[in-house]
């Protein structure tokens, strides 16, 4: 990956709705070579998808909850079951297996605390958990989908 590919990626991270011609102009390429580079980045999995980012407030999703989970289960079968159960809950927008004191971390978006309680009840109906701790975000200070490109 060269500097032109990085410029293409940065441009697309900022606005994926741009046409190939607009991207090409921003990175000082002609349209056909720019299109080929984008196709290659997609083929190689660098560009996973082109999506629309929705505003949570306009969708009445004003509450972000981070849920820390500790479990006594550490076998493959339980992890598979747990992963499927959590992934089936649409309010869970991010799901991580962690190192350290917490085994799993979930990011959940909902309208309010009552809606979170309903999500929590669905979660514990599906899976037995040992220790669950929820933290409510008070303010979103930085939230971006743009990844740093200096490490490529």
- Give tens-digit pLDDT for 35-80: 999 999 999 999 999 999 999 999 999 999 999 999 988 899 999 9
CATH level 2 (architecture), domain 57-136: 2-Layer Sandwich (3.30)
What are the tens digits of pLDDT across the range 132-150? 999 999 999 999 999 999 9
Identify the pLDDT of residue 129.
87
Q: Where are the domains of the chain?
A: 3-43, 57-136
| Residue 56: CA count within 13 A, CB half-sphere | 13
Q: Are the C-beta atoms of residues 105 and 67 closer than 8 Å to each other?
A: yes
Q: Which fold has domain 3-43?
A: Arc Repressor Mutant, subunit A (1.10.10)
């Amino acid at each position: 990956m060269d500097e032109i590919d990085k410029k293409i990626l940065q441009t697309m991270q900022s606005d994926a709705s741009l046409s190939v011609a607009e991207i090409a102009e921003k990175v000082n390429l002609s349209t056909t070579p720019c299109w080929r580079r984008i196709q290659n980045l997609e083929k190689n999995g660098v560009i996973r998808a082109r999506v629309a980012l929705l505003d949570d407030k306009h969708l009445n999703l004003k509450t972000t909850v981070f849920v820390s989970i500790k479990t006594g289960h550490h076998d493959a079968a339980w992890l598979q079951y747990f992963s499927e159960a959590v992934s089936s809950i649409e309010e869970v927008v991010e799901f991580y297996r962690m190192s350290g004191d917490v085994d799993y971390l979930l990011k959940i978006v909902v309208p309010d605390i009552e809606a979170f309680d309903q999500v929590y009840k669905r979660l514990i109906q599906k899976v037995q958990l040992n220790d669950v701790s929820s933290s409510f975000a008070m303010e979103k200070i930085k939230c971006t989908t743009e990844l740093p490109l200096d490490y490529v």
